[in-house]
Amino acid sequence: MSTELEQLLVGQVAHTAPSRVLECIDPDLAVRKTSGAPHAIYEEVWHLTFWQQISLEWAQGIETPCPEHASVGFPTAEQIAAEPWLSVKKRFLTGTEAAAAVTRDSAALERKIVCPSPPGHPARTMTVREQLENLAAHNAYHLGRVVLLRQLNNAWPPPTGGFSW
């Protein structure tokens, strides 16, 4: 039986499931800049994948340094050219499944971990559960931005449906 935290990471509970949000996004749409939006869908998902990997490392007890600048968390033009859209999408969805798997180990969820902060700020100590809650909130925020970008480009809802109210 899955937990609410697991469902927040991969399911369709408070929001459309990540796999549905990213369903049937054409590679051209993924990299298209939308007027008034700071990032394309590709950049949003790359950002999610970047932070999800760091969160998973922290959850494993690996004190991966926090980037010095927020810009490091978004891809450069070279990084976009080097990795196709479908690869970024797959890396993100594989990471959501890995995060969901951690939620199934109740003992691991209560383990204390160190989460490095940006330079000049003290590291934070929290439980794995708290880090995964942060990850779920971060993912929901940026996936909401992806939904909005899809709406603005007349590409919502996906074929299998999604919340549209």
5-16 residue pLDDT tens: 999 999 988 789
User: Three-state SS for 157?
Assistant: coil
Beta bridge partners of 112: 127
Report the mean per-residue pLDDT for the chain: 94
CATH class of the structural domain 4-152? mainly alpha
Q: How confident is the model at residue 151 (pLDDT cuts 50, 70, 90)?
A: very high
Residue 4 has, within 13 A of its CA and on its CB side, a CA count of: 3
Beta strand spans in 90-151 (E): 112-115, 124-127
pLDDT in tens, 16-70: 999 999 999 999 999 999 999 999 999 999 999 999 999 999 999 998 999 988 8
Contact 6, 109 (CB under 8 A): no
